[in-house]
Structure 1
Amino acid sequence: MNPDDPTPGRSTAATEITAVAAGGSLVSHFRLPAILALLLALGVGGGVYLIDGATAAETGSTATPPPAPRVTVAPVEQRIVTDHRELLGRVDATETVEVRPRVSGYIDEVRLRAGELVNKGDVLFVIDPRQYRAQVNQATAGVERARVRLSIAAREARRSDALLKTRAISEEEADTRSTRFAEVRAELLSAEATLATAQLDLEHTEVRAPVGGRVNRAYVTAGNLVSGSPAGATLLTSIVSVGEVYVYADADEDTVLAFNRLRAAGRIATDKDGRVPVEMQLSDEENFPHRGVIESTDNRIDPATGSLVVRMAFPNTDGRLVPGLFARVRLPVSSPEPSLLVSERAIGTDQNQKFVFTVGADNTVAYRTVRIGPALDSQRVVRDGLKPGERVIVNGLHRVRPGMTVTPELASNDTATTPAATVALR
């Protein structure tokens, strides 16, 4: 420090500035190194920037492209298919009987339990039989009385024949005795008929099941008076048969025309008895497990509904088909033919046409328009646009476009392939 400096503690930088102001003799000594240091710093920074920029550009030009999207594919299947029309109907019993008494009287016993299965001839109700048993006894006595009178009349007729030969009686008397014999014989026949009626009434005091099946609840209980009058007999219960059931369904005019045309051409399969087989399912079932036949049809189309009533018969060995249940029926409208099927998920809609995405051998996606047919469970018949074995995308359609390369994965086969199938037109 200069002792002559009036400002003690002044920095070297201040001294440098003073020296420069005094004549600039120290510029080359102090300022030049600072400038060089500044230039060096700028050069290093710029070099780092240039190096980083070049590295980034090089990295961008050699980046790995994104992987091909994964999609699920399934092959186009070829199967034997029968086209069907689906009809809606109701289950009904082949036999429905209202049980009514044939004689009047008071109910002594009720022997049925609601909902149980009964056989033909089982006793369901018992009507007080005492009155009818007495009538049988009375009719029996009338028959015996008529027989005695007939025996007497027969003897008199025989004697009259002998007496007439000896002229002991007149012909008029002989005719009277012969007529009397004929009248008494007729009385015996009448008495026997009365006895038969009384015995029948006695039998009818036991009300029996006219058919076998499932019985309803009893509408009357013991102690009630019931009428056996033909005009107003009391309803006791009802029985429906269970061994076989009918399903009644309405077929529209188009279905009737298509069915009749194919049947006339011999293109509808039939069983050994010439009956057309049909399939049916209930509301809680799938894949139409019940097999039956068309039993009959109405002889005309109802002009009010434009439909024809079709009656189909189905076996009901387990009793599960209860009358009144809703049923869905498949009616065949074609002969079995080879058809192509794809998953419903593979089909897309492009304005007014249907399309699928196929995956070629090089895993390239292609756009293919198709003409579809009826549905078969989760699959759809394809009439035109595909070939058997081609791979179609069933999952991931929104991630692909034509010409794109994809990574295909084969879909799991949830349903076993069967040699034949049926489809419902809808």
Structure 2
Amino acid sequence: MGARHAGRLVLVAAGLTGLLALAGCGKGGQGAATPPPPQVVVSQPVKKNVQEWDEYTGRFAAVEDVEIRARVSGYLTAVNFQDGQVVFKGDPLFVIDPRPYQAAADAARAGVAQAQASVQLAQRELDRARDLRQTQAVSQSVLDTRSQQLQAATAQLLAAQAQARAADLDLEFTSVKAPVTGRVSNHRVSVGNLVSGGSAQSTLLTTIVSLDPIHFYFDADQASYLRYQRQSRSGERPSSRDNANPVILSLPDEQGFTHQGRIDFVDNQIDDGTGTIRARAVFDNPDMVLTPGMFARLRLVGRPNYDGLLLPDAAIGTDQNRRFVYVVDKDNKATYRGVTTGPLVDGLRVIREGLTAGDKVVVAGLQRVKPGAAVTPVEQPIQAASGGTP
């Protein structure tokens, strides 16, 4: 009986242990703590006076691009410049053998002297005939003949003088001078070669491009052109056709837009092949760093100044084609808010529509937020990047 009683006690103890274990599991399952809302960083948008710029890529072009061609024919006797140097208007570049043209100029001047002598003789003959006519010593026909001879001699003198001027021009053209200030290319013809001049097929000797000032050509899309036109009509922004609107420019090896210029031309039609319209800006180039043919980026005033709101790009999500942010309300719940964005300013994105200055926007931890769900906000101010470009 003692052994049997001991066995029953073991079984009862084992059953109680199991019931206690089950009871403990049940109590723990019902009392498990709910996880706290996710922690996120929230900030109010930065308020800043914004100047928006539209950016375009274009190419520099010389204001003056001149082909230097021979205007008279002859043998080249001198090249008076170093290839690629800067030359000034009026500098002598080439010399074509002037001796034949000097001889022609001398002969033309001799022709002028001969014609002047003929005029003087015809004038004396006419004067004599007039005196004799008063005494009826000569007929009227003789007087008329003397008058006609003076007119013919005068015409010959005019022709001789014109021929002399042409000969002097040809002689002057033997010295080929720079028509503009700029950088000269290499000489295309060496000394001793025969060059032809005075026609459309005249020998090309070299080229010169002016450098200061310099033009910059770029193409604006049709949508931007229409926006500019409407802004001009509403008085928000002056038209670049009538005003020298400011532009800024950055070279390929530069971070900021440091070169300042102005618009000085807008084309009269939109290209039907590309849907763009060509415009031109002009820049001062005293150090002649800007070179025709070089690419660069240009920014043109896109909209009038306004007080804008800015956020870091990390705070902005993308839902298909729409941008959005999460705004935390007074109950610490995240609300989905669609926004319209603009350009970057000092490293922050302009928010054109969808926010107010007092909104608290999730700027970090965006991936942990669900629309309408509670969050644990930690407020931090937004730091704008220093040294940003306009």
Q: In which range does the TM-score fall when normalised by the shorter chain?
A: 0.7 to 0.9
Name whichever of 71-80 and 229-238 sits farther off: 71-80
Distance 1:182 1:399, change over 3 A: same
Q: 1:25-424 residue pairs with structure 2 within 5 A? A: 76-269=45-238, 274-350=243-319, 353-356=322-325, 366=334, 369-376=337-344, 378-388=347-357, 397=366, 403-405=374-376, 413-416=384-387
Instruction: Judge conservation of contact 2:329–2:335 (CA < 8 Å) in 1.
Output: no
Instruction: Judge conservation of contact 1:370–1:383 (CA < 8 Å) in 2.
Output: no
Distance 1:351 1:99, change over 3 A: closer
Instruction: Name the CA distance, whole Å, in 1 between partners of 2:320 and 2:209.
Output: 54
SS in structure 2 at match of 1:288: coil
Equivalent position amino acid for 2:342 in 1: P
Give the superposition deviation at 1:225: 1.1
Equivalent position amino acid for 2:300 in 1: L
Distance 1:113 1:368, change over 3 A: farther
TM normalised by structure 1 equals 0.72
Instruction: Name the CA distance, whole Å, in 2 between partners of 1:175 and 1:350.
Output: 103
Instruction: Name the CA distance, whole Å, in 2 between partners of 1:239 and 1:306.
Output: 33
Query: What does the per-residue CA deviation read over 1:220-248, in whole Å, with 9 as the maximum and x for residues that have no partner?
Result: 11111111132311111111121122222
Distance 1:72 1:201, change over 3 A: farther
Instruction: Name the CA distance, whole Å, in 2 between partners of 1:393 and 1:360.
Output: 11
TM normalised by structure 2 equals 0.78
Equivalent position amino acid for 2:243 in 1: G
Equivalent position amino acid for 2:349 in 1: R
Q: Which residue in 1 is equivalent to 2:32?
A: none
Instruction: Name the CA distance, whole Å, in 1 between partners of 2:142 and 2:219.
Output: 77
Give the superposition deviation at 1:409: 6.5
Instruction: Name the CA distance, whole Å, in 1 between partners of 2:226 and 2:269.
Output: 13
Distance 1:336 1:270, change over 3 A: farther
Equivalent position amino acid for 1:163 in 2: L
Distance 1:353 1:229, change over 3 A: closer
Instruction: Judge conservation of contact 2:41–2:377 (CA < 8 Å) in 1.
Output: no
Instruction: Name the CA distance, whole Å, in 2 between partners of 1:413 and 1:279.
Output: 22
Instruction: Name the CA distance, whole Å, in 2 between partners of 1:166 and 1:258.
Output: 91
Give the superposition deviation at 1:390: 6.2
Give the superposition deviation at 1:381: 1.1
Q: Which residue in 2 is equivalent to 1:4?
A: none
Distance 1:389 1:112, change over 3 A: farther
Q: Identity over the aligned pairs, expressed in percent?
A: 42
Equivalent position amino acid for 2:186 in 1: R
Consecutive unaligned residues of structure 1, counting only runs of 5 or more, are 1-64
Equivalent position amino acid for 1:374 in 2: G
Name whichever of 285-294 and 213-222 sits farther off: 285-294
Distance 1:308 1:122, change over 3 A: same
Instruction: Name the CA distance, whole Å, in 2 between partners of 1:141 and 1:297.
Output: 55
Equivalent position amino acid for 2:343 in 1: A
Give the superposition deviation at 1:250: 2.0
Give the superposition deviation at 1:261: 0.6
Q: Which residue in 1 is equivalent to 2:9?
A: none
SS in structure 2 at match of 1:172: helix
Larger radius of gyration: 1
- The alignment covers a number of residue pairs equal to 351
Instruction: Name the CA distance, whole Å, in 2 between partners of 1:411 and 1:177.
Output: 103
Instruction: Name the CA distance, whole Å, in 1 between partners of 2:225 and 2:116.
Output: 68
Instruction: Judge conservation of contact 2:61–2:217 (CA < 8 Å) in 1.
Output: yes
Distance 1:408 1:325, change over 3 A: same
